[in-house]
């Protein structure tokens, strides 16, 4: 129950903090690896804080939701006072660890928490701004990973992260509309402004822009010079397959409602992500020659 309330299965989203470590050629620095691991822990605690807050705010709406009614708070398995205590502990722990690691990293964690607080009380009710806020929270995670080890996070990776996160957020909205149908607007008013055809069109655009941005990144002269390799394009097939596979799951398997669960449960997609990561590490650190 505790793991479910904290949404531990969502923690893999915070793996984006390791992006800067890998692509800044710092993976062989034990001190920076340790900082990145601790940064991951801090971000996991921060995200769990927000999940608990959202569950407290939406407890009544969740009880009327066909899937969310099973959550610990909505089902009654976890009491409100206990959830509040957990929220305070996780939030305080996250900030304490963040300030211990580096002031600049702590500022990113504060920005992450502030943005998600704003989202919980306001932004989630504004069409398009709601998914933009979700995407920006992913960008903050990535930048935080760079700040904790004091390296520059590539602008191209920021752009790729933003586009990919938008793509996933729109997929989540599409699943909500498909699941709730006519009841969607009662659960979340902003869903009344979306439609499946509209979201499908946006997802296609974002899949294309994500792929284009990543392609430019792999071939960028700046990146080639910094990483001492022009072979990152070898990882492109994994990105293409991953995007197309996700679209398939959204359209034919009723996936996309929860990107983290989709990733874990769909073996081809999970293997694609793992192979993408291993390929990049091999190219950057092993100087793989193609």
Does 229 have pLDDT greater than 70?
A: yes
Residues with Cβ within 8 Å of 52's Cβ and at least 6 positions away in sequence, in order, are 5, 6, 83, 86, 87, 90
Q: In degrees, to the nearest 5, what angle opens at C-alpha 146 toward C-alphas 140 and 148?
A: 100
- Our measurement of the distance from residue 289's CA atom to the centroid of its chain's CA atoms, rounded to an integer in Å, reads 32
The pLDDT value given to residue 257: 64
Of 279, 169, 260, 258, nearest in space to 214 by CA:
279
d(CA 144, CA 154): 12
CA distances, 187 to each of 80, 116, 266 (Å): 21, 19, 28
Does 283 have pLDDT greater than 50?
A: yes
With a pLDDT cut of 70, the percent of the chain lying above it is 92
d(CA 238, CA 236): 5
Q: For residue 289, name the pLDDT band (cuts at 50, 70, 90).
A: very low
Is pLDDT larger for residue 60 or for residue 221?
221
User: What residue segments make up the domains of the chain, in order of their start?
Assistant: 1-153, 155-290
Residues with Cβ within 8 Å of 235's Cβ and at least 6 positions away in sequence, in order, are 218, 276, 279, 280, 283
Averaged pLDDT for residues 70-92: 82
Does 256 have pLDDT greater than 70?
A: no
Q: Which helix (H) or strand (E) holds 245?
A: helix 236-252
pTM above 0.85, yes or no: yes
d(CA 84, CA 44): 17
d(CA 152, CA 144): 10
Which CATH number is 1-153 given?
1.10.357.140
d(CA 43, CA 248): 30
- Our measurement of the distance from residue 58's CA atom to the centroid of its chain's CA atoms, rounded to an integer in Å, reads 21
pLDDT in tens, 96-149: 999 999 999 999 999 999 999 999 889 988 999 999 999 999 999 999 999 999
**How do the residues of the chain divide into helix, strand and coil, expressed in percent and rounded to 5?**
85, 0, 15
């Amino acid at each position: 129950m505790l793991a479910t309330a904290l949404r531990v299965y969502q923690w893999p989203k915070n793996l984006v903090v390791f992006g800067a470590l890998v692509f800044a050629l710092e993976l062989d620095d034990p001190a920076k690896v340790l900082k990145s691991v601790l940064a991951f822990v801090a971000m996991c605690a921060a995200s769990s804080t927000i999940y608990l807050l959202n569950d407290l705010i939406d407890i009544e709406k969740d009880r009327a939701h066909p899937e969310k009614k099973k959550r610990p708070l909505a089902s009654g398995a976890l009491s409100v006072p206990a959830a509040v205590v957990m929220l305070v502990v996780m939030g305080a722990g996250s900030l304490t660890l963040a300030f211990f690691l580096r002031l600049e990293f702590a500022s990113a964690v504060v920005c992450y928490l502030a943005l998600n607080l704003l989202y919980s009380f306001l932004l989630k009710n504004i069409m398009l701004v709601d998914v933009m806020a979700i995407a920006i929270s992913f960008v903050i995670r990535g930048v935080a990973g760079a700040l904790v080890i004091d390296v520059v996070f590539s602008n191209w990776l920021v752009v790729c992260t933003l586009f990919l996160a938008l793509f996933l957020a729109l997929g989540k909205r599409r699943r909500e509309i498909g699941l709730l149908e006519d009841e969607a607007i009662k659960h979340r008013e902003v869903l009344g402004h979306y439609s499946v055809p509209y979201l499908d069109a946006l997802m296609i655009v974002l899949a294309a822009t994500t792929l284009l941005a990543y392609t430019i990144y792999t071939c960028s002269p700046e990146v080639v010079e910094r990483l001492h390799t022009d072979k990152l394009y070898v990882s492109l097939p994994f990105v293409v397959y991953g995007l197309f596979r996700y679209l398939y799951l959204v359209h034919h398997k009723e996936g996309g409602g929860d990107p983290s669960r989709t990733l874990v449960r769909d073996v081809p997609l999970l293997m694609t992500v793992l192979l993408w990561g291993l390929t990049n590490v091999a190219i950057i650190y092993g100087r793989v020659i193609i």
